[in-house]
Amino acid sequence: MSTTDRLRYVYAVTRPFDGVLPEGARGIGGEPPRLLRHGDLVAVTGAVAPEDFDEAPLRARLEDLDWLADTARAHDAVIAALSTVTCPLPLRLATVCRDDSGVRRLVEDGHDRFVRALERLDGRVEWGVKVYAEPAAEEEAEPAAAGSGSSGRDYLRRRLHARRSREGDWERADALCRRLHGELSRHAEAGTVHRPQDARLSGVPGVNVLNAAYLVDRERSEEFVELVEAASEPGVRVELTGPWAPYSFAGIADEEAHEAHEAHEAHEAHEAHATTAAPAAQEAGR
């Protein structure tokens, strides 16, 4: 297929940069990303097949978890490569134009928004923080006591004890989420929560009760990471991922949202940093 038939996948928008992308950086379909300069911005694109990325096939492909996984990993590989040389503004997965002129129009139309977002995100990284309540720790307590007695009363006592212990674990997880979320928010420039992850997809033990992301200055990241690393408690596991390119914060580039955030910060300062409730923790009892 000739290059002209192919569509243009747009990974990110950046400022022009001097460095070179790491050798072997490949995007979707194994294609090396291409830089398309338009004015004072650069669109990072790749040619993709219309059989996959034209509207109708794309709708179908997105239903295929394996295809989605490959595409997401390829997208992230390009963003990660870009992150070694500049601070990219990642676009939503599957942003696809017909041709280069379509890409230029996108850059042109979104110019001011891109510039504002790039400025806001420059020098920042995203950290992911997930809190898990760990039922495994609760269940271990039961077999440990199992050999000690065999009467019905002992059994019931153990059951009651186990239930109280589980309730205590949920409460601890909930309290930790709220406390940690408040503390991390004060050390971050912005924060957001994703929906808790389903264990069927994540395949990790425990119940995900908080799935948050924080935008942190690179220079302050060490301090932030130390806070997260010190946060785990018995029965409550805290996991850190990152540093990520600021995916979760790229979309809130609109001035309106930015101003609202600043207004909220002012409000929060007024409230003397009242601990923010983590809504995800409320699902802990599911």
**39-78 positions binding another protein, by CB under 8 A:** 53-55, 58-59, 62-63, 65, 68-69, 72-73, 75-76
- The verdict on 106 binding another protein (CB under 8 A) reads yes
Binder among 136, 144, 156, 257 for another protein (CB under 8 A)? 257
- The verdict on 273 binding another protein (CB under 8 A) reads no
Binder among 95, 158, 180, 236 for another protein (CB under 8 A)? 95
Binding residues for another protein, rule CB under 8 A, total 91
- Name the residue among 190, 186, 199, 196 with its Cα closest to residue 247: 190
CB of 182 vs another protein, minimal distance in Å: 9
CB of 46 vs another protein, minimal distance in Å: 14
Determine how β-strand 41-48 pairs with β-strand 7-14. antiparallel
- The verdict on 174 binding another protein (CB under 8 A) reads no
Mask 224-243, x = binds another protein (CB under 8 A)?
-x---x---------xxxxx
Distance CA 47, CA 96 (A): 9
Cα-flanking dihedrals φ and ψ of residue 254, to 5°? -65, 140
Nearer to another protein, 165 or 276 (CB): 276
Cα-Cα-Cα-Cα dihedral sign, residues 211, 260, 88, 74: positive
- Name the residue among 86, 20, 82 with its Cα closest to residue 45: 82
**Residue type at 29?**
G
Nearer to another protein, 138 or 210 (CB): 210
- The verdict on 280 binding another protein (CB under 8 A) reads yes
Degrees, nearest 5: CA angle 96-111-97: 10
Nearer to another protein, 74 or 158 (CB): 74
CB 127 within 8 A of CB 228: yes
Nearer to another protein, 163 or 264 (CB): 264
CB 28 within 8 A of CB 48: yes
CB 214 within 8 A of CB 184: yes
Query: According to CB under 8 A, which residues from 208 to 227 bind another protein?
Result: 211, 213, 218-219, 221-222, 225
